[in-house]
Structure 1
Amino acid sequence: MRTAYQYKLKPNKEQIATIELWLNLLLRQYNYRLGERFSWWEENRCLVNACPLIMPIPQLRDNPDYYSQKKDLVNTKDKFPEYKLIHSQVLQDCIKRVKLAFDRWFKADKNGQRLGKPRFKGKGRYRSFTYPQIKQDCLEGNKINLPKIGLVKLIQHRRLPSGFKIKTATITRKADGYYVTLSLEDKSVPRFNYDVKPTTENTLGIDMGLKDFLVTSDGESVPIPQYYRSSQKRLKTLQKGLSRKKKGSNRWLKSVKAVGKQHKKVADKRKDFHFKTANELLSKADIIAHVDAERRAGGKLKY
């Protein structure tokens, strides 16, 4: 079984500067490696017998894949010594993200539809980095030991469950600060319980709607909380103040953070509402079935 726990970090000024430096360098590396793949694909995407009459001769080079780009990180560190400040596995994870983004472009999803072309990330759009491996004893009291960053304070609002091992650690920058997400795994806990068979007693049906958030098969309805509507007045005030600031100034940056924090408050309220609603439904029944939107006319349920 895999699960994740997220805690808010309280880094000092030096640690914040290090995190921001890493994010900026990883942003440059991500765009460069993605550009390498685009360049090779543009030059070699057509067959020899299907090329147009007028076409530039491509440079003879191998297809840049995950392993070749990861191997080329040695040359990157020689040309740009600042990349030596980043943990080696964090830098390799950036190459992995490029691979996953490029692979999703060519592979179809479960519905047979291909995803869009990956885009270059603009300034401030690279918001997280991951330690693929981290020590099990990285948590020391109210601090976490992040390699090459040091001991960073965190708000541990709940303890890690016993028996679970820490697999990865992801540092994320959000509107109201920095967070660490610990991915946990316990192979002794099964992911699903396949022994439960649906019956009329242990099954609860739900139908998502527009007037109500959902309606259960027992006739109970859950109203839509309208968190965004209730915060629109505050958002309007903040966005009006943002529009009057000079773009790029210190006051403009403060206004951008204020608007971002308000949007995050709405997102957090929605997330909390979804978790509490799901917990309440699962406390009433072992199996939840919902109406498939594509087959709503037939009234078929989907488990």
Structure 2
Amino acid sequence: MTAVDGLPPLDAGLGAELREFTGELRALFLGLGPAADAFAARCGTDPEVLADYLTAVRVPPWEFVETLLDAVRGSAPSPVVRERLYRSRMAALRVARPIGRAVCQLEGQLHAAEREMRQAEERAEQTGQALAELDAADPAGAGRAELLAEEYDRAREQSARAGARRTLLQRQLALVERQQGTSAAPPAPTGAEPGDGPPPKILLVDDRRENLVVLEALLGSHGHQLVAATSGPAALRALMEPDGYAAILLDVQMPGMDGYETAAHIRSRARTRDIPIVFVTAIGSEPDHAARAYAAGAADFLPKPVDPWAVRAKVASFVELHHARHPGA
């Protein structure tokens, strides 16, 4: 592959697995011909992200690969081709260990946020068009106009929330991928240098002490002040003095007051409603549970068993936001 084909040559230092997968990906993309630009727009991938995929800077999510396969002209790729590409992609991810699992997890969440944002924007556009086409002189259309206006506002709000999650997940991916091929932890977040003030507090909430021990082991050496609680009521007591909290890692499945109810109480208090909540749950990776988590006020979620790289990247991203919002804190 040469620059004549419209893409820069691959780095000579790439491993065999990543080179093979990226070469197949580039061949598929170039096979689209004039339809390549339309494909990029249709799949909602930023040009910079697409360039990263085609130059082996990042391994794309499988959903992106399937969309590319489906866009190829001519006969649909056979199951054998799909299986070969799937295995090739997994081999490419494995060379990025120990971060491969975290990359897959974060890419999946990012793709879901992008898809939700596009769908909400499309719904807002359709609703806005329907609203514009209503006959203002028709008395019967007044009620319809009010409903459409409410739906338009809801769609725009959903798009904004999904867009904020997308930006957050892109930052988390950058924190993880920066360490590709190393065993180092994500770097200290910007503005979190020692001496800049007290370390940010992270509230860890889980009814199982062994789960708290795992989180404490993962985060304890990264300059955070960790506060542990084993129940929803204990978490609310810890938040009686809410200043300094950068994030709350909250288990969903707890006896008595579960994570959703705990989150509702946190959101109902003026002094705590803006502290980002990250649900940590064994069921959090399913789309319907993710939607419920976001509806309950979660800023993010982590599926169990937790991935060390994903945990550190997510916490680091919220610490960065905390320092940006509270300079000198």
Q: Normalised by the size of structure 1, how large is the TM-score?
A: 0.22
Higher relative contact order structure (alpha carbons within 8 Å, sequence separation ≥ 6): 1
Q: Normalised by the size of structure 2, how large is the TM-score?
A: 0.20
